[in-house]
């Protein structure tokens, strides 16, 4: 029996800062934030509680990583196109 493998890892996970995307909500243009619960990570809107789909999450992270706040408007416009196309 090797009890060493059961050793708990140090809790450094709580160190991560919450991520936010200002005025990026495809529904209301509000501020999105990244959260974590028992089901995993998700991105939701502070203003209207809209939950981004997986596709939207990937897209917004991609757009945020290659553009700054100046282009936020264009980014949300792209999101609207994608979100609207699913209806
Ligand atoms: Zn919203």
CA of 34 to the centre of ligand 1 (A): 13
CA of 86 to the centre of ligand 1 (A): 17
Domain range spanning residue 76? 14-83
Going 50 to 54 to 55 to 58, the CA torsion angle's sign is positive
What's the pTM value of the predicted model, to 2 decimals? 0.56
- On whether residue 4 sits in a domain, the answer given is no
Q: How many domains does the chain have?
A: 1
Is 60 exceeded by the pLDDT of residue 87?
no
**DSSP symbol at 25:** -
- pLDDT tens-digit profile of 28-73? 999 999 999 898 999 999 999 999 999 999 999 898 888 655 555 5
CA of 43 to the centre of ligand 1 (A): 11
- Report whether 59 contacts 87 (CB < 8 A): no
- On whether residue 5 sits in a domain, the answer given is no
- On whether residue 7 sits in a domain, the answer given is no
Ligand 1 ion: Cβ-proximal residues, 5 Å cutoff: 25, 27-28, 30, 45, 47-48, 50
- On whether residue 53 sits in a domain, the answer given is yes
- On whether residue 25 sits in a domain, the answer given is yes
Instruction: State how far the Cα of 33 lies from the Cα of 51, in Å rounded to an integer.
Output: 10
Instruction: State how far the Cα of 61 lies from the Cα of 13, in Å rounded to an integer.
Output: 20
């Amino acid at each position: 029996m090797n009890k060493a493998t059961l050793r708990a890892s140090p809790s450094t996970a709580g160190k991560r800062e919450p991520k936010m995307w200002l005025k990026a909500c495809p529904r209301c243009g509000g501020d999105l934030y990244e959260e974590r619960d028992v089901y995993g990570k998700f991105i939701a809107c502070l203003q209207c509680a809209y939950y981004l789909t997986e596709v939207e999450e990937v897209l917004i992270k991609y757009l945020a990583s290659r553009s700054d706040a100046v282009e936020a408007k264009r980014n949300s416009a792209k999101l609207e196109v994608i979100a609207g196309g699913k209806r």
